Chain A
């Protein structure tokens, strides 16, 4: 097969091929319950329906031979030579990116965002992280946290990292946290101010898709945690909040674990 014919075939069918790539990747994610690693659960049904429509149209286009391509054979590469070369380079770069991502979608195991992105996105201690505290977007989570200072012990026992993080931003009154049992799951992010003895148990909160993931976290005081844990390890922690014993950490209140168990990544790693 000549190179020219191959190029023509590629430019002719690249859209259909990419639709099939995205389609099989997305449907597989949906079938294995992992589509929520990329988008908010409320868009799963819409996404699956449209993807199925797209794949049927792709197969229809194949079955009908694709029609003629007269229009696309004109209008290319009439510019002066240097511009043509630049355009060629850009096209090649675009092709590399596109093929790379297509391979990634099909061959790489799906992943959640890591703690390094959490720190890029402003996970911190005592810093007003833009979390969905305003209510509304978080739905139940936001609404629950809004009434936090009056919440009963039974309610707070089920609090997620998000709800505790919101509560901690609202009140730093230690007496509020007395006798409150904490049971949270999240992944380990090193504390920026005391990386040796404290870490932040972190979750990402998404409102649309992984692109908008916002990290929220609760500072955990666990001296020398690196001896048994690594960043990004998922853990379940039970314990209670006290004044933070760490000298360098800027968080005034920290969670002191009674038990700290490494766990597998939950099926719904993002809070919504």
Chain B
């Protein structure tokens, strides 16, 4: 495996001035910070005032279809935002506040075992797919190989306590939906981790911008000591991650909203009772709907009356890993070719799993 950074290396050039942003946030609060905070508070006040002033406007400003598109898109954003924030907070904790050797110290050396353990980390980190993109990015920066972080990325949305709980609430033990989902997520994550571990140059998997970020971070100030320093690093990390992820979230949500406004749901429902097509239809639905894995069991429950259980399992395994919103988010971190391979592998395994469930149930 390739390690992207060696945590204990001295900060080579990391503390030298970069470009025109020479000053560091070493000694907060400095004048620039005060000016920026002032500007931020003014913007915030303007936002609140604008929102309060326009809140009472009557309906019918936009035509129905356009309004529904906006409502659906905003609902994806509002629903995902807390999970994105949770993921970023956890990512900051992992990158800045945990000791550099925190994971290295107790993770098994054997690659297969190590990935198996990593894929179960999700049990302690209850993030859904939008939250674990920033967290997986954090793990790569922290020294995880790309394939190891991929194992986490894919397993965590499914093998996490909230997802398991909501799936249990929705389905109980019926038709093996819960068991197939958790096992499926675990197997797919380890399969993909194993496949990508074969790749010699792990940097090749990453989007160029993110790979560059990892290289610079390797010498960065993160492992300097002192709470003030760490606070500054946390703030920088927050600003950078949000700048990368939020535009992706907006675009992904907009595409998901547009598809849902335009494609009639009945097209999918007609296919629901066929053992093969029900799987394809539910996977297409999962791809389009782009809701978080923590809550998707509730979403899919109403379909239990019209769809075979295999279709539901395919939805619950495929959706958390591959959907419109998630691909846009993943694009910030991985190369497009990796995303295509990932979607293909996950799609094939999820479909196979669905077929098996349909045959058995």
Contact = CB atoms under 8 A, between A and B. Distances in A.
Interface in A63-77: 63-76
A15 B239 contact: yes
Given A54-B85, A120-B264, A128 B306 contact: yes
B298 A208 contact: yes
B305 A109 contact: no
Contacts of A211: 72, 75-76, 79, 256-257, 260, 289-291
A28 B78 CA distance: 12
A214 B33 contact: no
Contact of B235 (A37, A60, A75): A60
Interface string B240-251: 111111110011
A71 B235 CA distance: 16
A98 B251 contact: yes
Interface stretch (A42-50, A241-249, A252-260): A42-50
Contacts of B170: 136-137
B157 to A, nearest CB: 15
Contacts of A57: 85, 88-89, 234-235, 238
B28 A65 contact: yes
Contacts of A20: 40, 43-44, 47
Contact of A72 (B33, B240, B250): B240
* A contact face: mostly helix, strand, loop, or mixed: helix
How many of chain B's residues touch chain A, expressed as a range?
A: 35 or more
A174 interface: no
Contact of A18 (B82, B246, B292, B296): B246
A101 B239 contact: no
Contacts of A120: 261, 263-265
A104 interface: yes
A156 B210 CA distance: 59
Contact of B75 (A130, A136, A209): A209
A212 interface: yes
Interface stretch (A111-119, A146-154, A176-184, A218-226): A111-119
B51 to A, nearest CB: 5
A229 interface: no
Interface in B202-242: 208-209, 211-213, 215-217, 231-236, 238-242
Given A16-B242, A66-B25, A59 B251 contact: no
Nearest to B29: A63
Contact of B23 (A21, A65, A134): A65
Interface of B: 17-19, 21-25, 28-30, 32-34, 36-37, 39-41, 43-44, 47-48, 50-52, 54-59, 61-62, 64-65, 67-68, 70-79, 81-83, 85-86, 88-89, 169-170, 208-209, 211-213, 215-217, 231-236, 238-247, 250-251, 253-254, 256-257, 260-261, 263-266, 269, 289-292, 295-296, 298-299, 301-306
Q: Which 4 residue pairs of A and B lie closest in terms of their CB atoms, listed nearest first?
A: A15-B242, A67-B236, A70-B18, A50-B82
18 contacts: A18-B250, A22-B77, A29-B78, A38-B71, A43-B82, A46-B82, A50-B83, A54-B85, A59-B37, A65-B25, A66-B235, A69-B240, A71-B209, A110-B71, A122-B264, A130-B306, A132-B301, A232-B64
